[in-house]
A and B are shown apart, each in its own frame.
Chain A
């Protein structure tokens, strides 16, 4: 079973493995430009309840991602 960025809980880190094919090319490109590229280490900074967007840190920047897009980012193992 594959795990996704959305499954990360607050304080947890992971490495991005690939993108789900359902993510449109335009937005995949944007995600890579923002730093969410395969091999990048990502940490979940804030994970509010009730399905609100979560905050993910990549490099020195923090982005808010909603469930619909974070579910399409397939993650590998835990970041070092």
Chain B
């Protein structure tokens, strides 16, 4: 068994190469700093070779938290006996930049007695421009193998793996690492790049034209808003047929299975706890798929880096930076990758403020709750051939509310803390625009949805079973109000009565502190038990029929938009911030804020309606 450390600059195509070699599904994106932890996998061609993928860094002189972790981990790994080689990936189209890092890595590896192989990636792009690279000359000058490859097309990968397995013994370090500063590395990289690198202009005019449009003060702002609007509109319009499909399959399966169940209790359990509780949650999974797909599309196209530039100035008003945008947008899919991605924010102060904002981003676990309440209270009215829908607008509105809440909190905290003194400057590489690769995008969205079901599914199953059991007994589902759950619900009812919510919603909110999406499954089970004699109708229709006031519906939306219920998010925050202080403050602070804001919303809406 042999191990190979895979390193490279951001946007060098390292993760795509790692996926090609191992067959794993590491997330690939066109944005600096997308790998936020090390990943390992075995080569498909040579199973005894394990590859370890490190986060992309520009230099061994770390600037951000993410780089510090990557460099420290890399340095430690170099000292391990089973590491045989370092694979350094450089972007052949921007050789001078990649070579600065490659030279640093080569020196460090040689000092540790490890072999180095350089993969000159993106040779397909060079070929498209009619350019080439003198890889033999560069290899001779560096004294190590330089293999031209294309991670996108797969060319050169066999030669690369051969070089990793059978390369020459490591050469002795040329001089002390400490004796060489960044200028020496830069000068050498410049010289090597000029001598052996491609000679020609690789930045195509269309990229500059696109940047002038997408970053223009007017067209950039409008296109940003339009793209974000389409993102949220797509959650409803594009996911709707898929949701109908899941609902149809579940209904068909229930109608097929239930008549065969002779035992009344078993039949009620299957119908209410499984098809009612777990099924109600599964119906919303297509929305998570579409959301992940759309965010991935923006990342892969190169637009996300431009969005970070557009957002930089506005975000500075709230104490954040343009680099906070990607962690916050990741938080729209799930807060956990968002918190990891915040490592790319160099400034500790702005990183801490980004942590504060992320749990308020409308994550996918909130999506089923929002979708249920919006479907129940907002009519499905569309105009412009279905492109603009009232429900989509409402979803956009509640997402905007979450984002604005996050910004407001960071602005208040930032101003309370006062001037942060010296700060890390905003310097961000602009990746080239490119056509997204649909296969990894679809695979990523599928994996994310599957992970969501696997992670939340068991919790929802057991909560649904527990809720059904307490609601069904002791009177065998005859009267939910006098069940064990009914008695428990009435105990906590005074807490939720100021929001116009009865005990059933109180129980569902309490259950949602395990995971937000449990709210939907719990309501599904509760209404399933209560309406067991009815025909199968959707949960949203049952919520409508329950007589829930409009003000309470809006109060629930506001409560879920603010409350920090997710235990996993709080645990990851503890790991990243180094103590329980921030997550505990967040849990109670956001909880209190959520309840107060929900109370005000309920009163306001009911007053307006009256």
A residues with a Cβ closer than 8 A to B are 10, 24, 26-27, 29-35, 37, 45-46, 48-53, 55, 57, 59-66, 68-69
Contact = CB atoms under 8 A, between A and B. Distances in A.
Nearest to B201: A60
A30 B62 CA distance: 9
A52 to B, nearest CB: 5
Contacts of A51: 313
A41 to B, nearest CB: 12
Contacts of A50: 217, 313
A27 B424 CA distance: 8
B309 interface: yes
B208 A46 contact: yes
B429 A69 contact: no
26 contacts: A24-B422, A26-B61, A29-B61, A33-B61, A34-B97, A34-B427, A34-B429, A35-B97, A35-B186, A49-B217, A52-B215, A52-B309, A55-B211, A59-B193, A60-B93, A60-B96, A61-B429, A62-B207, A62-B429, A63-B428, A64-B308, A64-B426, A66-B322, A66-B426, A68-B425, A68-B426
Interface in B164-209: 182-183, 185-186, 193, 201-203, 207-208
Contact of A48 (B94, B183, B220, B426): B220
Contact of A66 (B93, B100, B202, B312): B312
B324 interface: no
B350 to A, nearest CB: 12
| Interface of chain A, main secondary structure | mixed
Contacts of A32: 182-183, 186
Nearest to B67: A30
A64 B63 contact: no
Given A46-B215, A64-B430, A52 B312 contact: yes
B183 A37 contact: yes
Nearest to B213: A46
B229 interface: no
A16 B96 CA distance: 17
Nearest to A32: B182
B215 A65 contact: no
A48 B217 contact: yes
User: Could you say which interface size class chain B belongs to?
Assistant: 35 or more
Interface of B: 58-59, 61, 63, 93-94, 96-97, 100-101, 182-183, 185-186, 193, 201-203, 207-208, 211-212, 215-217, 220, 305, 308-310, 312-313, 322, 422-430
A30 B61 contact: yes
A43 to B, nearest CB: 10
A42 B208 CA distance: 15
A20 to B, nearest CB: 12
A60 B203 contact: yes
Contacts of A59: 94, 96-97, 193
B63 A69 contact: no
B58 A34 contact: yes
Given A55-B430, A62-B430, A33 B309 contact: no
Shortest Cβ-Cβ A-B pairs, 3 listed: A69-B425, A66-B426, A62-B430
B422 A33 contact: no
Nearest to B104: A33
Contacts of B182: 29, 32-33
Contacts of B216: 48
Given A33-B185, A61-B429, A65-B425, 11 more contacts: A10-B212, A29-B61, A30-B61, A33-B182, A52-B313, A55-B215, A62-B429, A64-B322, A64-B427, A66-B426, A68-B423
